[in-house]
Chain A
């Protein structure tokens, strides 16, 4: 079973004689990577994401690989005759969970996004932001191999936005591929393994930004083996490492990924000791 998703010379247009929205797109999404797609309005970002989620077949070219996929649309309708928990339980079973574990996962994710109180609320009575939380939860509760986020942050409150960033970090750390579109240039800044720009119907690969993060950084002081290497899972996401004294390290980590790095350090063999964690100053954490 091939878990890479690969687009080869893919083109897509709507209607038989419609203009090409995308053409000649080559793109590979590998497990455990975070991919950002940028572009102005109407350039075909959503079309690209729909192709990646395999919702639409390409008009030309080939899409291969079929990872277990979850998709978060930009606007999620609440015109569904279920309660939030009922809907999420259904979606959990669609993602392959048993009914019981789907229900449990649904409750957990609603709680994480601060919507636990709405579990029993009919979807039709949810606010726009709360239904977006349900949309995000339905994608995450199945622990998909490919997570496609089409401006999933839009409409979420600040706490839920940060939680979604952490959830994305967890997903990639657990070996899932995540691809996202967002209009906020500071979204998950420093974290993507690759950034692509949709331009004139084609796809342009930008340099990966991993080397120059300018997003909010969490400072982590840890103690480990002198001259030792960081565990690979942690080393991948850490922005800068400095060994202050032998065995003492000062790590700067993108704020969204601090939990993932701490988990990697604490579960390493032998485990590292976490001395202190300093969150980024509050002004850099508040985003539009």
Chain B
């Protein structure tokens, strides 16, 4: 698996297709997050932005390899494992990006609640923001896994389905990502930073299931 991950990561880095989602994410943060704003609010914003980026990175990893090259890798390691490596590479890239953004935002934001009434320690805020970011990255990767090959092949279907899925995962009540982000936003009003561990656990389970489904179906459907 290490060799597969290394290959996929190298492919992703060298292809430079990661640039558009990363630039978009940075722009999104540049618009929504400014230094001196309440930390928990900004962390919620940072977390929710990772979700579509993760889905996009999955699409990049899953579609980046020409079919014949994919077949060569799949013959060597098995199609399911090869596909899983694609998904994990995208997830790890999204997590790395999200963690970096969370760190920066925690450091530049105002350690206080809305209206600067209650002091929120940076460490506590970061500890609340990190699981929320992970939750969003996981859920975004799950959306990407379920809306690209092997489940949806045609670009015309995959991209709208992915965008819709990412939107729903971010706003639908009951979605772990929505719960985690909502916790941060309400926490910013009260000044109490919640630890969204339950949403994180939910996201881990959902993503594991989504990855398993996608990997299992890899050798069932082609074209």
Q: Is B69 at the interface (CB under 8 A from chain A)?
A: yes
> Which residues on the B side are within 8 Å of A50 (C-beta)?
71, 222
B35 at the A interface (CB under 8 A): no
Residue contact A80 to B69, C-beta cutoff 8 Å: yes
Measured CB to CB, the nearest residue on chain A to B222 is A56
A76, B3: Cβ atoms closer than 8 Å: no
Kindly identify, within residues 41 to 57 of chain A, every residue whose CB is under 8 Å from any CB belonging to chain B: 50, 53-57
Across-interface contacts of A73 in B (CB, < 8 A): 67-68, 71-72
B38 located at the interface, meaning its Cβ lies under 8 Å from any Cβ of chain A in the complex: no
Chain A residues, CB < 8 A from B65: 80
Q: Which of B4, B74, B77 has the most CB of A within 10 A?
A: B74
Interface status of A160 (Cβ within 8 A of chain B)? no
Q: How many residues of B contact A (CB 8 A)?
A: 27
**Do A54 and B15 have beta carbons less than 8 Å apart?**
no
For A196, the chain B residues whose CB sits under 8 A away are none
Q: Is the CB of A69 within 8 A of B76?
A: yes
Report B-chain residues with C-beta under 8 Å of the C-beta of A69: 75-76
Q: How many residues of A contact B (CB 8 A)?
A: 34
Is there contact, CB below 8 Å, between A55 and B73? no
The answer to whether the Cβ of A82 comes within 8 Å of any Cβ in the partner chain is: yes
Bound state CA distance, A75 and B220, in angstroms?
22
Kindly state whether residue A185 has any CB partner on chain B within 8 Å.
no
A-B contact count (CB 8 A): 87
**Does the CB pair B71–A55 fall under 8 Å?**
yes
Interface residue B111 (Cβ < 8 Å from any Cβ of A): no
Pair A71/B7 contact, Cβ less than 8 Å: no
Q: B223: CB under 8 A from chain A?
A: yes
Given contacts A55-B71, A73-B71, A142-B76, contact A81 B15 (CB under 8 A): yes
**Chain B nearest Cβ from A178, distance in angstroms:** 13
B79 at interface by CB-CB < 8 Å: yes
Let me know if A105 is at the binding interface, CB within 8 A: no
Quote the shortest CB–CB distance from A144 to chain B (angstroms): 8
Q: Is the CB of B222 within 8 A of A14?
A: yes
Interface string of A80-96 (1 = CB under 8 A from B): 11100010001101110
Which residues 62-109 of B sit at the A interface, judged by CB distance below 8 A? 65-69, 71-79
| Among all A-B residue pairs, the 9 with the closest Cβ atoms | A71-B75, A77-B66, A81-B14, A73-B68, A93-B3, A57-B219, A90-B7, A53-B75, A94-B76
20 contacts between A and B (CB under 8 A): A50-B222, A55-B71, A55-B74, A55-B79, A69-B75, A71-B72, A72-B72, A73-B67, A73-B71, A76-B72, A77-B67, A80-B66, A80-B69, A82-B11, A90-B6, A91-B72, A91-B76, A94-B3, A95-B76, A135-B68
Residues of A within 8 A of B (CB): 14, 50, 53-57, 66, 68-77, 79-82, 86, 90-91, 93-95, 135, 138-139, 142, 144, 148
Report B's interface with A, CB cutoff 8 A.
3-4, 6-7, 10-11, 14-16, 65-69, 71-79, 219-220, 222-223
11 extra A-B contacts, CB within 8 A, seeds A50-B71, A77-B67, A86-B10: A14-B222, A55-B79, A66-B78, A70-B76, A73-B72, A76-B69, A77-B68, A80-B11, A80-B69, A93-B7, A139-B72
